[in-house]
Amino acid sequence: MVKIKEFGNEKRDSLTISANSFPFKLWNEWDSDCIETFGNCRWMKMWHDHLASKQLDVFRVLMEQVEELKFRLDKLEEKPVKKQTLTLGKE
C-alpha cells in the first residue's frame, strides 16, 4: 500500500510504503543496519540499497569481461612459441 502526501512543493511531497510478509529474521538484519548506519532513517536505507543494487549489474558485467580476458590470456599462453634460427640468407 502506498500513501502519497502532497504539499504542493516537490521537495516536501512524500509517500508512505507498507511492506508485508517480510521474513522476521531478515527484517531484524535490515532494521539493525538501518539503525546503525543510517540513524534509523528508513527512506535513506532504502535509497542506499536501491543505488547499491543498480551497481551490482555493473560489477557483473565487469566480472564477465575479466573472465573473458583470463580465458583469452590462457589460450595465448598455451600456444607454443616457434623459435626460428635465422641465417644471413634469412632462412
pLDDT in tens, the chain (91 residues): 656 676 666 667 788 888 889 899 999 999 999 999 999 999 999 999 999 999 998 999 999 999 999 999 998 887 776 777 777 766 5
CA angle 32, 1, 52 (to 5 degrees): 45
Backbone phi, psi, residue 20, to 5°? -115, 155
For 64, the domain range is 2-74
66: in domain: yes
CA angle 55, 59, 60 (to 5 degrees): 115
52: in domain: yes
pLDDT of 87 reads 74
79: in domain: no
Question: For the whole prediction, is pTM greater than 0.85?
Answer: no
pLDDT of 48 reads 96
81: in domain: no
pLDDT of 49 reads 96
The answer to whether the beta carbons of residues 13 and 6 sit under 8 Å apart is: yes
- How many structural domains comprise the chain? 1
The answer to whether the beta carbons of residues 21 and 27 sit under 8 Å apart is: no
3-state secondary structure of 5: strand
pLDDT of 81 reads 67
